[in-house]
Amino acid sequence: MSATPPPAQRHPRRPLWPILAGIAVLVVIAVVVVVIAGGGSSSSSSGSSKPAALPPLYPHRAGPETMFTAGSVGADTPAALDTLKALGVNRVHVYLHWADIAPDPSSKTKPAFDASNPGAYPAAGWALYDALDRNLAARHMGIDLDLVPPPPLWAQGKGAPPSKQPQPEWKPSAAEFGRFIHAVGVRYSGHYTPPGPSTPLPRVSFWSIWNEPDLGTQLAPEAIDNHQVEVAPRLYRGLVDAAWSAFTATGHGHDTILIGEIAPAGVLAGVGNFNQMQPLRFLRALYCVGADYQPLRGSAATLRGCPATAAGSARFAAAHPGLFHASGFADHPYPQGLAPNVATPNEPDYAELAAIGKLEHVLDTMQRVYGSSTAFPIWSTEFGYQTTPPDVEAGTVTPAKAAYYLNWAEYLTWLDPRLRSYDQYLLQDPPGPDFDSGLETAAGMPKPGYYAFQLPLYLPVTSTAAGHPLDVWGCIRPAPEAHRLTHSTQFAQIQYSAGQGGAFRTVSRVAITGKHGYFEVHQTFPGSGAVRLAWTPRHGPTQFSRTVDITLR
């Protein structure tokens, strides 16, 4: 990438969930959940000389690791991985699609093969994933291997409604899913050498189970009986059980295993077979509790595959160990065009970033119902802002606003110690106006979000009295790896310009000591103007963050 800094910003794969079509209007009437105000606009009263109140300082907080979801595995080329490595990404979230591996995935009849043996699958299906496993290991980058739909059609359950399109996500067989994961676990155990190579494939020790099970195109049916009885949670419970057993049987029982992978939004009425269920409603049914967070009883429990008696509830945790002993819970906390501290109005069962605290409370409450003290860490495994142009869907923002919101969102993520990852979904926009949340355009040109991701910068308060400091939070994402290679301390340069095109100069150098490159300081500036970060790698041009305007009165 060019060393040219981004212009000053004055803060002005998959289909979008249908219930969000009107979200642009809802922003106007949004109920704001204020986590930290400001973030690029002055949060102090105009004309006041009183110094702004600064948030607490956490200079030694390690913060979340950086996860990157590049989309389909075909997008994870060596060149793309080199870019992610240069950007300081710690782990790549990879979708391993069941149907990509399975033989005869479009057949309704299962072929004769041992589904638990990785050698019984077509070699071509594994090739991309094997290469990615080796390429990431060679770059000292982690992998989150997410075992996702679609299933092969021969694993489909009975009763799928008539359709011109295949519906393999309909009641997929948990037993077949378990056999598939057994094969995956053996292949990526660190001891398996496929035909051809002379060395074993690197071990995978970080996993996710399924993708957005609260979305009917990923797992169906979502609900029956006029949308009143949840079905997908019961199906997902079975998939987690099967996966947990297979991971344990193949030596991965002590790995990092994430459950959930939920989409953040949904509908209450009209869920039906293939629409999207509200995520917290999905979780209540998954854990067999009602709206009052008490165990379901009688027919309400039986219809959802839950224990109908107190004695059955006492055995629930032991019967479903993955729901209680997983390493963490994965969420896709997209705000869909809203500011990252704004919750969608009148939607108490959503799980976007502004509702993470509620998600944590709900998960904890359901654990306590069954006598468990588990407090799941939360992993963000998909996140981003769609930009317009060219995206024409609802819930999009301008590229400059997306850059600002991304840094704000990462700051909020850093503030919550239970959030273990900050994720970016897509490096490059797909061709055409379709979920354009990438850091680069479809032509490969950097968007403002590229610089926001490269060196995050956020000032919770941007206006104060002259002579008083402002809180400067940021991240030199590649610094820990640069320190590993050079054994030299890396520094963030906080730079200031008086504005109106004036030159930037360094006003402070901050040593980067944390394992993920984050820092926070209180910094005094000479006057109103603009602030940015700069960092110079050992090889290559100096890198710059986005620019934030400040006002001193």
What are the tens digits of pLDDT across the range 430-472?
987 789 999 999 999 999 999 999 999 999 999 999 999 999 9
Q: What is the pLDDT of residue 431?
A: 87
For residue 481, pLDDT beyond 50: yes
Identify the H or E element spanning 263.
none
Tokens of 8: 């000053």
Cα distance between residue 472 and residue 462, in whole Å: 9
Q: What is the pLDDT of residue 2?
A: 39
- pTM, whole model, 2 decimals? 0.92
Mean of the pLDDT values across residues 368-396? Answer: 95
Q: Is 351 within 8 Å of 331 (Cβ atoms)?
A: yes
Q: What is the pLDDT of residue 72?
A: 61
Q: What is the pLDDT of residue 48?
A: 57
The DSSP secondary structure of 187-221, one letter per residue, reads HTSS----SS-SSPPPPP-EEEE-S-TTBTTTSB-
Strands in 518-523's sheet, in edge-to-edge order, are 457-458, 470-475, 518-523
Q: What is the pLDDT of residue 499?
A: 76
Cα distance between residue 334 and residue 267, in whole Å: 16
Q: Is 288 within 8 Å of 295 (Cβ atoms)?
A: yes
Q: What is the pLDDT of residue 60?
A: 85
Dump strand ranges (E) for 348-448. 378-380, 419-425
Question: When comparing pLDDT for 432 and 208, which is higher?
Answer: 208
Among 99-113, 213-227, 283-297, 431-445, the range scoring the smallest mean pLDDT is 431-445
Q: What is the mean pLDDT of the chain?
A: 91
The alpha carbon of 156 is separated from its chain's Cα centroid by a whole number of angstroms, namely: 28
Identify the H or E element spanning 126.
helix 123-138
CATH number given to 90-382: 3.20.20
Measured on CA atoms in the order 164, 169, 173, 177, is the torsion positive or negative? Answer: positive
pLDDT confidence bin for 14, thresholds 50/70/90: very low
For residue 267, pLDDT beyond 70: yes
Q: What is the pLDDT of residue 29?
A: 32
For residue 100, pLDDT beyond 60: yes
According to DSSP, the residues that pair with 369 across neighbouring strands are none
Mean of the pLDDT values across residues 278-293? Answer: 98
pLDDT confidence bin for 394, thresholds 50/70/90: confident
What does DSSP say about strands 505-512 and 378-380: parallel, antiparallel, or unpaired?
A: unpaired
For residue 40, pLDDT beyond 70: no
Q: Is 207 within 8 Å of 147 (Cβ atoms)?
A: yes
| Phi-psi sector, 455: left (phi>0), alpha (psi -120 to 50), beta | beta
Mean of the pLDDT values across residues 17-25? Answer: 39
Q: What is each CA distance from 109 to 105, 153, 164, 538, in whole angstroms?
A: 9, 8, 18, 57
Q: Which residues of 440-474 are buried (b: 16+ CB within 10 A; e: fewer)?
A: bbeeeebbbbbbbbbbbbbbbbbbbeeebebbbbb
Q: Tokens 């054994």 correspond to what residue?
A: 487
Report which of 261, 421, 231, 415 is spatially closest to residue 326, judged by C-alpha positions. 261
For residue 483, pLDDT beyond 90: yes
Q: What is the pLDDT of residue 18?
A: 40
Q: Is 520 within 8 Å of 486 (Cβ atoms)?
A: no
Q: What is the pLDDT of residue 71?
A: 77
Q: What is the pLDDT of residue 424?
A: 97
Q: For 427-489, what is the HEC assignment? A: CECCCCCCCCCCCECCCCCECHHHHHHHCCEECCCCEECCCCCEEEEEECCCHHHHHHHHCCC
For residue 25, pLDDT beyond 50: no
What are the tens digits of pLDDT across the range 61-90?
999 999 999 876 456 789 999 999 999 999
Q: Is 241 within 8 Å of 322 (Cβ atoms)?
A: yes
Q: Is 38 within 8 Å of 55 (Cβ atoms)?
A: no
Cα distance between residue 15 and residue 75, in whole Å: 18
Q: What is the pLDDT of residue 476?
A: 98
DSSP state of 287: T
Mean of the pLDDT values across residues 172-188? Answer: 98
The DSSP secondary structure of 42-82, one letter per residue, reads --S-TT--SPPPPPPP-TT---PEEEEE-SSGGG--HHHHH
Whether the upstream peptide bond of residue 221 has omega within 30° of 0, thus cis, is: yes
For residue 12, pLDDT beyond 70: no
For residue 5, pLDDT beyond 70: no
The DSSP secondary structure of 73-103, one letter per residue, reads GGG--HHHHHHHHHTT--EEEEEEEHHHHSS
Tokens of 87: 């950007």
What are the tens digits of pLDDT across the range 487-518?
999 999 999 999 777 899 999 999 999 999 99
